[in-house]
Structure 1
Amino acid sequence: MAKSFLVPCFLLLGLLLMATMQAADAQIGVCYGMLGDNLPPVNDVINLYKQYNIQRMRLYSPNHDAFRALGGSNIEVLVDVNNDDLQGLASSQDQANTWVQNNIQNYGNVNFKYIAVGNEITASSNIAQYLVPAMRNIQTAINNAGLGGKIKVSTSITYAMIGVSYPPSAGAFSNAEAAVIDPILRFLLDNQAPLLINIYPYFAYRDNQASIGLDYSLFTSNSVVVSDGSYGYKNLFDAQLDAAYAALEKKNAASLRIVVSESGWPSDGDSGASVENARIYNNNLVQHVKSGTPRRPGGPTETYIFAMFDENQKNPEMEKHLGLFFPWKQLKYPMNFN
């Protein structure tokens, strides 16, 4: 009797342990930007992801060398469609089919997870009219390729589209962005895809240091800083993310999940930028996104840190200093990716 009782108990304990480990898995990816003339070869970069067990990658355009190096790995890939390609993709289903064939189907051993059709396109952009038609054509091409259940099509928006963010419960999209965000949300709801948002507490802190504290921005506050009804916020990241969720609720899109497609902190180049602040922010971010927010406490938040390397061809100066690694493949500061 005792023996037969112990076996199921050990099985149960094992299942509980596995569930706990899965719940605690890092939700972190790292954006692999390539705007530098001194960056290491692609194969070396993919090996760095593997060496540090970085399980997700964002690529800002299709890069076939990267796809070949990623082949057969378990690294999940978010790949962007270049903004410059949107007009052609919007006007031609054949072009969208070709894009999917050349950049997705031809690399069947790459673990593609998302396609971000365009990055940070707002209503004032001269290509805004092409965004959702391009998303639709890419979605059709993905469906026709039999990949509709595996790869989600979305777009990555700038946090500047949130016109009201304080308090978080008042979060709302800017009225000026309605012509762009409304069709985006309809598309995402129809296709059960997440909204990708670039969220940087750093910029809010840099521009409002008189009213936003560094501890609140770096996840180091030990007490509630912002009280919002029944919700209490100890960090700016949660407040910004919950403002975005509140904005979705006001658009009748509460069922959408948000993926943070960029976040990070610079190590130099502007006010509040330092190696120490970058180390604190990014390490705390990795740990923090394993749990939910006050408004959405139910689960982790998939998040991509910007960026893998300092990129010396970016501007302004601050954007040259967002890398976790130096171009010679050394970590800029200690990082725990899990």
Structure 2
Amino acid sequence: MRTSVPGVRPLRIILSTLLVIFSNALIHSVFYIVLRDGNLPGVINAVVAILWGIFGVYFIYWSFNLAIEQYPDRWKQKMIPILFVGPAVALLAWLLLVPTIRTLYMSFFDSTTTNFVGLANYAEVFTNRILLGALRNNLLWVVFGATACIVLGLLIAVLADRSSFEKLAKSIIFMPMAISFVAAGVIWKFIYFYKPGTEQIGLLNAILVSFGFEPQAFTSMFQPWNNLFLIVILIWMQTGFAMVLFSAALKGVPEELLEAARVDGAGETRIFFKIIVPFISGTILSVSTTIVVFTLKIFDVVMVMTGGQYDTEVVATQFYRQFFMYRNAGFGSTLAIVLLICVIPVIWINLRQFKKQGGF
């Protein structure tokens, strides 16, 4: 009859775990050094990097899972979730949490991040005329842009679901989502194009001239009209996103509920506001918060269309200028933190709604 020697199994588990850690470190270090210092042709180097990325991650999880399988059940249940979720959490912390903390730290220093200035940068944000204009423009984008995307997306979803051309209509509305905001800015730059004293090749000005009106400099006219013309681009692109999600939510409204309301004599408007809207309120909130967060971070359209000129600056473009063009790291970091503070309440609302729906 065999008897187990006390301490042998724990020792074997510890040794196998150390072996897995050492072998992973050795194998991946070799691949890294070969890719960094090797003289392989470019194509082969790229293929090796791709294969290393795919099979290397698989080997890490497989080898660590193999080591954890030797642990007692009590420890195994605790270690496996850490194994599979831990790397993702660590990566997110490294890419998001650590830079956020570093940016917050830098926001209390001057442009060279050597002299501590306390809250002076934050005071400057809310007293500088240009930055107050950027904050005001961000508010315009949220109030008019996000609201229009949500309202039009819901309206189109309701109308398209009752149309015989539902697929075609939704495809046309959703199509702008297929291009980037930079590309959209270039397209709309040609649409708004204005050149005084010559034939107008911009689409809108060509239409105005053909009807006998004077051409307009849409993106350089006085506030707030030039900002509103830029907001139209956001509406053109994001309405399709809202429409698709609202349409999916509308498909989940029970038809029997709607028929019962119609039998009771309720009109379509009353059904919409009293039954449909409350039923899809979770989707409305999720779509609203997503678009608001996206709108607060708007950068591409403004940079491509006007470069922030003509009083069209937003917080993101000012952050870019201060941090990368003027090399004012302290003030640029402050703007990034201000933008983060604006986004946090919206994200919190979204997470709270997600929790109510059983997401956590």
State whether TM-score is above 0.5. Answer: no
Q: TM-score range by the shorter chain?
A: under 0.3
Greater C-alpha Rg: 2
TM-score with structure 2 setting the length: 0.23
The structure with more strand, counted as a fraction of residues: 1
The structure with more helix, counted as a fraction of residues: 2
